Amino acid sequence: MKDGLSKAFATHIVINQSNPKQWWQLAKPIRDELVKDGLSKSDATQIVIGHSNPRQWWQLAKPIRDELVKDDLSKAFATQIVIKQSNPKQWWQQAKPIRDELVKDGLSKSDATQIVIKQSNPKQWWQQAKPIRDELVKDGLSKTFATQIVINQSNPKEWWQQAKPIRDELVKDGLSKTFATQIVIGWANPKQWWQEAKPIRDELVKDGLSKAFATQIVI
């Protein structure tokens, strides 16, 4: 109770342990370490009581936390990341290769690490994002810039499904593929932007401007 739990909840915890004293001897040192690493005593206590074997869980989680700290995350933030994972080791086995690939593609290790830890399923996210990134590279963007574009999208696939038709239309209207690509990636909602810009472009064409020049005006 001194650690922030209600009497009812604390009672419920200990009665579920076959050997409460032995369990707390294992759990308390880990709880205290989490407190030293920046968690409140209440939060740290709730973390350890959520694991049937806190010691075993922390033996898996701590090396990953320490690696995240080496990658420029604060100890408190890195600790919060790993405690949110039901299986920290498995999660990092999926996330680390993607993080390393992002580093090879021009992101700093710190930025790349922060990107993957935001994803509940880093592997699935990158399977969607990478093909779009590669397509942007084919369209003239540098790999670093294209990577930064897709990682800023919560749903890269859905975003590109909206943006690509507009990009292709701009190409038909006289813009280079590289320039047209750079235009659409600058808009959070390319479809909405083009719905507003296209009627103005068409009006300029009616007024005697070439479609290519009128398009360059509105963009």
111/191 Cα distance (integer angstroms): 29
Helix locations, 4-108, DSSP H: 7-15, 20-36, 41-49, 54-70, 75-83, 88-104
The pLDDT, as a whole number, for residue 118 is 84
- Please give the single-letter amino acid code of residue 68: L
- pLDDT band at 164; cut points 50, 70, 90: very high
The pLDDT, as a whole number, for residue 11 is 46
Domain ranges in the chain?
A: 153-219
Q: The whole model's pTM is what?
A: 0.66
- pLDDT band at 17; cut points 50, 70, 90: low
User: Residues 108, 111, 114, 116: is their CA dihedral positive or negative?
Assistant: negative
- pLDDT band at 3; cut points 50, 70, 90: low
Q: Write down how long the chain is.
A: 219
Q: What pLDDT digit, counting tens, does each position of 35-84 carry? A: 888 888 888 888 887 777 888 888 989 999 999 999 888 888 888 888 88
How much is the average pLDDT of 114-139?
89
Assign residue 72 a region: left if phi > 0, alpha if psi is -120 to 50, beta otherwise? Answer: left
Q: How many CA atoms lie within 13 A of 20 on its CB side?
A: 7
Residue 153, classed as helix, strand or coil, is coil
Q: How many CA atoms lie within 13 A of 158 on its CB side?
A: 7
Q: Which two tokens stand for residue 42?
A: 């209440």
Of 211 and 10, the one with more pLDDT: 211
Average pLDDT, whole number, for the chain?
A: 84
How much is the average pLDDT of 186-204?
88
